[in-house]
């Protein structure tokens, strides 16, 4: 049984997944140390400055003041933690294959400090078998005494930043350990911070469920993206079609087209599933085709934008909204980057505007320079109809949010 009184929890990685988990654990009564390799981030966190939109500074400061939370870049601080949770990035390498380097380095770094009977949980997204075939062997190799006394469990993260309905507490949590005791310990821990904990038969099921969730989204977004040029040729508004189909009370879910897919889940997770399938010699053509369709959208919308331009004397094009989703400043895997690269290849200078983002891939920020056109990639908080109309150039709206703007043309 995991008890909160004086129990130490170590959360490895203090990003979009790790910091909310650390805060929730501290608020549940645990003494939490949030570990991160970035000393600058650690310093900011210990000063009460949150870099995550869902965690307010005063909320973090309250936990620091009570002694329930502190951040550190010293992995030796894992010593004494009965629960240790890995929340690090699992991106794709340049060749499109899974990059587990952050995960592997985290495990190697904490392994020497894991105490007997500690529960080691992986929340980082990866292919089925990662806990059993990667994490446990690394602990076995790098910990004095091996892995026999460590409990291993998988509980994939389900964080959706700025979601007002489904947060860490209200979203059901999937858990499974490598053995019965690990599963029970994981259930006990997550029951202190999540309203519903669902036990699965194996970590592999939990790992694959996470990949399926986002592959489902990838495939369905690709379906509607593929229908965009087809509907346009027929003179049909694809968004109206989707809303019409959405009136059916069963058997249909609404997915909308856009400039592509972005963030740390949809463009990446399906590739982990695809990589694993190729290791087994099994074809998954739906996933391959969906990835190709969505990857081609930045080129398609860039071409559409250029077709709208009537006066290209300035050669300046503006991208409005460069984060991967509305309400966040996160630009990881944002389709806006690929759109920018496509427009540059076509000979245009790319400017950008996003009220939440401080810098974007080295591109120049918009400050009332002359424009010949603009494209809305993300309907970012703070962008409004008046801003769009004041641009006084054709604007391709990939979001469907600015349909009332007189100069906006819908995707």
73-86: per-residue pLDDT in tens? 999 999 999 999 99
In the numeric block, the tokens 């991106």 are attached to 91
| Average model confidence (pLDDT) across the chain | 95
pLDDT tens for 212-242 read 999 999 999 999 999 999 999 999 999 999 9
Which residues touch 189 (CB under 8 Å, ≥6 apart)? 2, 9, 83, 119, 121
Mean pLDDT score, 51-70: 95
In angstroms, the first-to-last Cα distance of the chain is 54
**Rounded CA separation 150/118 (Å):** 5
Q: What is the 3-state secondary structure (H, E, C) of 16-41?
A: CCHHHHHHHHHHCCCEEEEECCCHHH
Per residue in 72-122, pLDDT (tens digit) is 999 999 999 999 999 999 999 989 899 999 999 999 999 999 999 999 999
Query: Is residue 253 a contact partner of residue 220, using CB atoms and an 8 Å limit?
Result: yes
User: What is the structure's pLDDT at 170?
Assistant: 96
pLDDT at 129: 97
**Taking 70 as the threshold, does the pLDDT of residue 3 lie above it?**
no
pLDDT confidence of residue 313: 77
Rounded Cα–Cα distance for residues 120 and 181 (Å): 12
Please state the rounded mean pLDDT for residues 138-157.
97
pLDDT score at 346: 95
**Is the CB of residue 4 less than 8 Å from the CB of residue 98?**
no
For 288-342, how does the pLDDT look when each residue is reduced to its tens digit (9 = 90+)? 999 999 999 999 999 999 999 987 778 999 999 999 999 999 998 999 999 999 9
- The C-alpha atoms of residue 212 and residue 59 are separated, in whole angstroms, by 33
Q: Which of 24-29's residues contact partners 24+ apart within 8 Å by CB, and which partners?
A: 24/168, 24/169, 24/193, 25/192, 25/193, 26/63, 26/68, 26/69, 27/63, 27/68, 27/193, 28/4, 28/192, 28/193, 29/4, 29/5, 29/68, 29/192
Task: Assign 399 to helix, strand or coil.
Answer: coil
Helix axes of 269-279 and 203-234: crossing angle, nearest 10 degrees: 110
The arithmetic mean of pLDDT across residues 358-363, rounded, is 95
Write down the pTM of the prediction.
0.93
pLDDT of res. 1: 66
Residues with a catalytic annotation lie at 265
Q: 359 φ, ψ to 5°?
A: -150, 155
> What's the pLDDT band for 264 if we cut at 50, 70, 90?
confident
Is 317 in a helix, a strand, or coil? strand
Give the pLDDT confidence of 148-174 residue by residue, as tens digits. Answer: 999 999 999 999 988 889 999 999 999
Q: Are strands 316-320 and 373-376 parallel, antiparallel or unpaired?
A: parallel
Q: Which domains does the chain have, with CATH numbers?
A: 8-201 (3.40.50.720), 239-410 (3.40.50.720)
Q: Two tokens at 90? A: 């699992």
Give the burial string for 362-372 (b: 16+ CB within 10 Å, else e). Answer: ebeebeeeebb
- Rounded CA gap, 195 and 192, in Å? 8
Residue of higher predicted confidence among 4 and 270: 270
């Amino acid at each position: 049984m995991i008890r909160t009184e004086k129990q130490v929890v170590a959360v490895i990685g203090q990003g979009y997944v790790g910091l909310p988990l650390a805060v929730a654990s501290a608020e549940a009564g645990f003494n939490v140390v949030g570990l991160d390799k970035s000393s600058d981030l650690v310093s900011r966190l210990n000063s009460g400055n949150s870099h995550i939109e869902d965690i307010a500074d005063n909320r973090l400061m309250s936990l620091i003041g009570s002694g329930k939370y502190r951040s550190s870049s010293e992995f030796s601080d894992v010593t004494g933690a009965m629960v240790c949770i890995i929340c690090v990035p699992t991106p794709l390498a340049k060749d499109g294959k899974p990059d587990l380097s952050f995960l592997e380095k985290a495990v190697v770094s904490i392994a020497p400090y894991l105490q007997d009977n500690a529960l080691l949980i992986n929340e980082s997204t990866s292919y089925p078998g990662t806990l059993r075939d990667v994490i446990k062997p690394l602990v076995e190799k790098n910990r004095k005494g091996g892995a026999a006394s460590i409990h291993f469990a998988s509980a994939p993260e389900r964080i959706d930043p700025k979601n007002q309905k489904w947060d860490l507490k209200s979203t059901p949590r999937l858990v499974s350990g490598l053995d019965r005791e690990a599963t029970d310990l994981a259930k006990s821990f997550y029951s202190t911070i999540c309203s519903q904990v669902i036990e699965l038969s194996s970590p592999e099921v939990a790992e694959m469920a996470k990949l399926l969730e986002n592959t489902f989204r990838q495939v369905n977004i690709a379906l509607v993206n593929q229908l965009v040029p087809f509907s346009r040729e027929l003179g049909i508004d694809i968004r109206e079609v989707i809303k019409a189909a959405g009136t059916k009370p069963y058997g249909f879910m609404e997915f909308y087209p856009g400039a592509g897919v972005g963030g740390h889940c949809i463009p990446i997770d399906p590739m982990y599933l695809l990589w694993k399938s190729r290791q087994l010699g099994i074809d998954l053509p739906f996933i391959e085709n969906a990835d190709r369709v969505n990857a081609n959208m930045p080129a398609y919308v860039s071409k559409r934008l250029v077709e709208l331009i009537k006066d290209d004397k300035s050669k300046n094009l503006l991208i409005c909204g460069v984060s991967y989703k509305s309400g966040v400043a996160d630009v990881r895997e944002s389709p806006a980057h690929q759109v920018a690269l496509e427009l540059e290849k076509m000979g245009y200078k790319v400017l950008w505007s996003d009220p939440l983002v401080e810098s974007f891939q080295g591109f120049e920020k918009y400050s009332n320079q002359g424009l010949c056109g603009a494209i809305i990639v993300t309907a970012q908080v703070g962008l409004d109809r008046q801003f769009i109309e004041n641009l006084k150039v054709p604007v391709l709206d990939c979001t469907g949010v600015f349909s009332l703007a007189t100069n906006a043309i819908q995707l």
